[in-house]
Structure 1
Amino acid sequence: MQEQARKIVMEYFNSHVDKTDNKQITLDDIYVVWFSKTLQNWKALVSTTVSDGMYYEITHNGNENETYVDVYKKWENYTVKGE
């Protein structure tokens, strides 16, 4: 399951990367940040070693045998301190 999620991200990245970057990634460049499985369903949050701010949410619906891919870009990170 986790390897399947990593392969999905690799294929997505390699097919969407700007051709002028001349960059392709392998499974060694992809890692699972978080993974959960319940019954026939699972979800993985996946990132890469490429410093592009992208991360990927891969969700598998075992009832329908479908896998959904959400692609996000980190926009900002800041701290809000309690009062």
Structure 2
Amino acid sequence: MGNNEFQEKAVYLVKQFYKGLDTTDEEIDVYVVWISKVLQNNKCLIRTNIPDGRYFEITYNGDKEEFYFDSYQKEINIRVANSDPLNISFNL
């Protein structure tokens, strides 16, 4: 599958996900952050304008001709100084 066709299908899957949640009436803007094709497989990372902290990883397995849909929510974001990355302490 080419990247253009894959991207269209991946965006559609994300929109269908939000339609299934039925949590928003606003128009969903979908942003493909990263996309890659290796041999017969495709993968992309997607974000939306919905402020729920989710991002999506969509994978197409060309051998099996099937998609894998993963949804993630940001749990934590901690700044780590480049000057001392080995001495970080995570006090959660």
**TM-score bucket of the superposed structures, by smaller chain:** 0.7 to 0.9
Deviation for aligned residue 1:41: 0.3
Contact 1:46 1:55 in 2 (8 A): yes
Residue 52 of structure 1 pairs with residue 52 of structure 2: yes
Deviation for aligned residue 1:10: 0.3
1:8-27 paired onto structure 2 within 5 Å: 8-18=13-23, 21=24, 23=25, 25-26=27-28
Structure 1 segments of 4 or more deviating over 3 A?
none
Partner amino acid, structure 1, of 2:62: G
User: In percent, how many aligned pairs have the same letter?
Assistant: 41
Structure 1 gaps, min length 5: none
Q: Deviations over 1:26-81 (max 9, x none)?
A: 4xx10100000011100010010111101100000000001000000011211112
TM (normalized to structure 1)?
0.84
Deviation for aligned residue 1:24: 5.0
Q: Return the alpha-carbon distance in structure 1 between the equivalents of residues 80 and 62 of structure 2.
A: 38
TM (normalized to structure 2)?
0.77
Q: Report what 2:65 is aligned to.
A: 65
Q: Return the alpha-carbon distance in structure 1 between the equivalents of residues 79 and 15 of structure 2.
A: 31
Instruction: Number of aligned residue pairs: give it.
Output: 78
- Name the CA shift for 1:12/1:24 in 2 (closer, same or farther; >3 Å): farther
State the Cα RMSD in Å: 1.4
Structure with higher Rg: it is 2
